[in-house]
């Protein structure tokens, strides 16, 4: 195997065909099932995007209404799951609590080991709805707050935000939350989607595949980047300090969080969308500090990184948006998982249509035919 080319990180290795999403990294474009993300954010809803990803087409009016009813019906989680989570330490990592919660939910799904297509769609709907409830519960549990029951009337996004904050949700906040769900729903094959596919390729169950995705997303190189970007903005503290902070970081060869992407070599379209809604939220909330700091950081980075293909990614603005919505930074990554459940599930369902066990190779670089010494002679 010495002549086999090594692809560390599986860079640019194609492992499946998909119609779910297309990331055009050179032009900074993102499509879900052929529809530009900008169109979906302005004209669609997360519920409709979930249908689009699971069925690979937009729903008719009555189909969307039925799908929405199913999502709302599945929001409750078993009392036994809540009771079990109440025994877990409040200082546990929220992603570990989320993993535990999803594993418990699997035990109460009557179709856990039923692999027919329609059963998998139904399980996907349960996972989308119940993971949102679970994440909202965790967000309050770790803060010592009472559980807010899910609504049977609100949209998916508004209900989630209501359960997290315990407050009435205004129209703009509901819209921004919905936009955040849409922007995080799918993004081809990052590490978490690949982890979900690897588990699914063994013909394990859908819950196990989603758990693999959650486990991979926990890592700070994947799901935790927006939290780090927000911490950087808070550390800077004011727009006047942004330029020196960025210059000092670049001179010290430190990463400026929220910039650069493995695929995008131009502006991440999701960051552009988040920037627009951050401006709207800042105006309504009467708090422009985070926006002003972020704008100044971007201005300096654009000047200093000119020609190097380093631009803001989704994480740069999303943390500030979540903060203005009242979402604690401890659940930024669990929210990411909550929104991405549909993308993971859709990839798994698509892969199972032409399943092949994922089994890559490693290039051996050690010695061979070593003589085995007895334990006395080592």
| Residues acting as catalytic residues | 261, 315
Q: How far apart are CA 28 and CA 21, in angstroms?
A: 13
Contact 109, 153 (CB under 8 A): no
Q: Which two tokens stand for residue 132?
A: 């949102």
Q: How far apart are CA 189 and CA 14, in angstroms?
A: 9
Q: Which long-range contacts link 13-19 to residues 24+ away (Cβ below 8 Å)?
A: 15/189, 15/194, 15/197, 15/358, 16/189, 16/197, 16/347, 16/350, 16/351, 18/188, 18/347, 18/350, 19/56, 19/350
Q: How far apart are CA 213 and CA 198, in angstroms?
A: 10
Contact 28, 313 (CB under 8 A): no
Question: Cβ–Cβ contacts within 10 Å for residue 171, how many?
Answer: 8
Q: Is residue 222 classed as helix, strand or coil in its secondary structure?
A: coil
| Residue 159 exposure: Cα atoms within 13 Å on the Cβ side | 25
Q: Which long-range contacts link 285-289 to residues 24+ away (Cβ below 8 Å)?
A: 285/324, 287/324, 289/238, 289/239
Q: How far apart are CA 106 and CA 109, in angstroms?
A: 5
Q: Which two tokens stand for residue 258?
A: 């929220």
């Amino acid at each position: 195997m010495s002549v086999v080319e090594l692809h560390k990180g599986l860079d640019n290795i194609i492992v499946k065909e998909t119609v779910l999403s297309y990331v055009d990294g050179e032009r900074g474009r993102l499509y879900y099932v052929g529809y530009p993300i900008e169109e979906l954010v302005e004209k669609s809803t997360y519920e409709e995007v979930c249908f689009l990803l699971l069925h690979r087409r937009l729903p008719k009016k009555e189909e969307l209404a039925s799908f929405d009813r199913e999502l709302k019906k599945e929001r409750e989680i078993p009392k036994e799951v809540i009771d079990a989570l109440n025994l877990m330490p409040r200082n546990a990592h929220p992603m570990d609590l989320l993993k535990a919660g999803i594993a418990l939910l699997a035990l109460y799904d009557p179709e856990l080991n039923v692999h027919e297509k329609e059963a998998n769609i139904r399980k996907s709907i349960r996972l989308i709805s119940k993971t949102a409830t679970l994440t909202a519960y965790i967000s309050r549990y770790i803060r010592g707050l009472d559980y807010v029951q899910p609504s049977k009337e609100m949209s998916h996004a508004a209900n989630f935000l209501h359960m997290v904050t315990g407050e009435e949700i205004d129209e703009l906040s509901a819209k921004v939350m919905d936009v955040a769900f849409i922007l995080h729903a799918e993004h081809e094959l990052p590490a978490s989607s690949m982890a979900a596919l690897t588990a699914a390729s063994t013909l394990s169950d859908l819950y196990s595949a989603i758990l693999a995705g959650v486990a991979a997303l926990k890592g700070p190189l994947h799901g935790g980047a927006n939290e780090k970007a927000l911490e950087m903005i808070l550390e800077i503290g004011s727009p006047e300090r942004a330029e020196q902070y960025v210059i000092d970081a670049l001179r010290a060869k430190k990463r400026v969080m929220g910039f650069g992407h493995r695929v995008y070599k131009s502006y991440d379209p999701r960051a552009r969308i988040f920037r627009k809604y951050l401006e709207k939220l800042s105006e309504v909330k009467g708090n422009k500090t985070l926006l002003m700091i972020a704008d100044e950081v971007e201005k300096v980075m654009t000047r200093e990184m000119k020609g190097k293909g380093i631009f803001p990614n989704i994480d740069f603005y999303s943390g500030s948006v979540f903060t203005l919505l009242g979402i604690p930074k401890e659940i930024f990554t669990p929210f990411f998982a909550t929104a991405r459940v549909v993308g993971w599930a859709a990839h798994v369902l698509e892969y199972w249509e032409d399943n092949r066990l994922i089994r890559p190779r490693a290039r051996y670089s050690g010695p061979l035919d070593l003589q085995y010494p007895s334990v006395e002679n080592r």
